[in-house]
């Protein structure tokens, strides 16, 4: 039954097709449909080509954008390198400036020692950079007469220099006695030179002002109160111990506050005070500061969390306000 139904349908479709082909209007409809199909296919090809061109333009623009971004990255990296070089130059210049200040201070100290020695002994030493074993000096007597003398210290001991006697001469006993006095003072001067090395080491233990020490390590001077003038600093371990007269708080112009106990310790590094003990700062509550570090414009307090503040607020010494407890 099913096969009969399919054959009948097929015969019916065949008859309709024959009728359509015999009809002129039906043939025209098929022809028009074919033309429309060709036109549609052509339009699709045009649209496809345009889309392909658009995709190529997008790819080209994307590649150019990536190229520009890469160039900008190279420029940024170049600027970063230049900034790093400038920072290194600044650090080198600052180190030279500090070294020059230390040299000027040492020269002034030596000049004062020389002046004091000359006042006491009436002997004005003269340095000989070409021969460290040669001692030259000028002896000034009460009548302001000046007489130069020198000794070869590598040929005699300090004791021999002090007790050296010149052979008799035509100048008489007075001149020999006077020369003995001179030589005795020269021997004392030579011993004094050796002792001065010890004095210099003692002089180095005399603390420079705390703000000056902080500046040498690139730290702001205001991280301690103004009256924190007494401190100890170990050159080898870099441990700093600052003594403060009383427990106090210091307020800064950015509204931040630091609290100090009577003894604050830490270890100095370039641009950093590490392992801090005896200092707190106010966040939501008072918390202990464990380290302080700086960059060109910020100061960073590590107090459990890192709190950054404006560096210029800490560049000025400020008075502490005494409080009851730390």
Query: For the segment 98-149, what is each residue's pLDDT rounded down to a tens digit?
Result: 878 788 887 777 777 766 666 666 666 665 556 655 666 666 665 555 566 6
Q: What is the pLDDT of residue 170?
A: 43
Q: Is the pLDDT of residue 277 over 90?
A: yes
**Residue 233's beta-bridge partner residues?**
240
Taking the complete model, does pTM exceed 0.75, yes or no?
no
**Residue 293's beta-bridge partner residues?**
272, 300
Rounded to an integer, what is the distance from CA 253 to the centroid of its chain?
Answer: 24
For residue 180, how many C-alpha atoms fall within 13 Å in the half-sphere facing its CB?
A: 10
Alpha-carbon gap, residue 280 to 258, rounded angstroms: 6
Rounded to an integer, what is the distance from CA 239 to the centroid of its chain?
Answer: 19
Please state the rounded mean pLDDT for residues 18-32.
65
Distances (CA, A) of 61 to 67, 68, 74, 203, 214: 10, 10, 20, 71, 55
Q: What is the pLDDT of residue 222?
A: 94
Q: What is the pLDDT of residue 1?
A: 47
* Chain position carrying tokens 């500061």: 289
Comparison of pLDDT for 237 and 155, the residue scoring more: 237
Summary mean pLDDT of the chain: 77
Q: What does the CA dihedral 112, 105, 198, 162 come to, rounded to 10 degrees?
A: -30
Alpha-carbon gap, residue 16 to 167, rounded angstroms: 158
Q: In this structure, are residues 256 and 246 in contact, taking their beta carbons and an 8 Å threshold?
A: no
Q: Is the pLDDT of residue 80 over 60?
A: yes
pLDDT class of 150 with cuts at 50, 70, 90: low
Comparison of pLDDT for 133 and 220, the residue scoring more: 220
> pLDDT for 290-303, tens place per residue?
999 999 899 999 99
| Secondary structure element (H or E) that encloses residue 93, with its range | helix 24-121
Q: Which of 197, 264, 259, 194 is nearest to 233 (CA)?
A: 264
Q: What is the second-level CATH architecture of the domain 210-322?
A: Roll (2.30)
Signed CA dihedral, 91, 92, 94, 98: sign only = positive
> pLDDT for 30-69, tens place per residue?
677 777 777 888 888 888 888 888 888 888 888 887 777 7
Q: In this structure, are residues 224 and 264 in contact, taking their beta carbons and an 8 Å threshold?
A: yes
Q: Which of 219, 204, 308, 325 is nearest to 267 (CA)?
A: 219
Alpha-carbon gap, residue 260 to 288, rounded angstroms: 10
Range picked from 3-17, 45-59, 195-209, 264-278 for highest mean pLDDT? 264-278
> pLDDT for 153-211, tens place per residue?
555 655 555 555 444 444 445 555 555 555 555 555 555 555 555 445 444 446 789 99
Range picked from 82-91, 182-191, 305-314 for highest mean pLDDT? 305-314
Q: CB neighbours (10 Å) of residue 29?
A: 12
Calculate what percentage of the chain has a pLDDT beyond 70. Answer: 65
Q: What is the pLDDT of residue 2?
A: 46
Question: Residues spanned by CATH 2.30.240.10 within the chain?
Answer: 210-322
Alpha-carbon gap, residue 291 to 256, rounded angstroms: 16
Q: Is the pLDDT of residue 226 over 80?
A: yes
Structure tokens belonging to residue 309: 């503040």
Please state the rounded mean pLDDT for residues 200-229.
82
Structure tokens belonging to residue 51: 């889309």
For the beta sheet containing 146-152, the strands, ordered from the edge strand earlier in sequence to the opposite edge, are 123-126, 134-140, 146-152
Please provide the size of the chain in residues.
326
Q: What is the pLDDT of residue 270?
A: 94
Q: CB neighbours (10 Å) of residue 161?
A: 21
Comparison of pLDDT for 313 and 149, the residue scoring more: 313
Alpha-carbon gap, residue 161 to 97, rounded angstroms: 41
Comparison of pLDDT for 221 and 71, the residue scoring more: 221
pLDDT class of 218 with cuts at 50, 70, 90: very high
């Amino acid at each position: 039954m099913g096969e009969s139904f399919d054959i009948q349908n097929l015969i019916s479709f065949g008859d309709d097709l024959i009728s359509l082909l015999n009809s002129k209007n039906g043939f025209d409809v098929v022809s028009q449909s074919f033309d429309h199909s060709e036109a549609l296919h052509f339009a699709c090809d045009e649209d496809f080509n345009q889309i392909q061109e658009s995709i190529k333009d997008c790819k080209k623009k994307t590649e150019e954008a990536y190229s520009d971004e890469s160039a900008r990255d190279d420029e940024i990296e170049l600027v970063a390198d230049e900034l790093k070089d400038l920072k290194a130059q600044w650090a080198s210049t600052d180190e030279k400036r500090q070294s020059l200040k230390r040299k000027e201070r040492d020269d002034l100290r030596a000049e004062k020692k020389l002046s004091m020695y000359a006042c006491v002994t009436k002997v004005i030493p003269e340095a000989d950079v070409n021969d460290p074993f040669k001692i030259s000096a000028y002896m000034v007597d009460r009548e302001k007469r000046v007489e130069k003398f020198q000794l070869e210290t590598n040929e005699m001991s300090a004791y021999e220099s002090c007790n050296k006697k010149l052979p008799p001469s035509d100048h008489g006993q007075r001149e020999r006695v006077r020369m003995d006095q001179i030589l005795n003072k020269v021997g004392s001067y030579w011993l004094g030179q050796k002792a001065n090395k010890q004095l210099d080491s003692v002089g180095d233990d005399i603390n420079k002002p705390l703000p000056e020490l902080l500046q040498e390590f690139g730290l702001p001077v205001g991280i301690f109160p103004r009256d924190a003038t007494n401190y100890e600093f170990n050159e080898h371990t870099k441990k700093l111990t600052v003594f403060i007269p009383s427990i106090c708080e210091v307020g800064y112009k950015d509204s931040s506050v630091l609290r100090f106990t009577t003894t604050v310790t830490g270890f100095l590094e370039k641009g950093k005070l590490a392992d801090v003990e005896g200092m707190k700062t106010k966040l939501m509550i008072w918390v202990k500061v464990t380290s302080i570090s700086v960059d060109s414009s910020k100061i960073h307090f590590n107090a459990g969390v890192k709190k950054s503040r404006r560096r210029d607020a800490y560049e000025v010494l400020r008075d502490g306000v005494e409080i009851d407890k730390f």
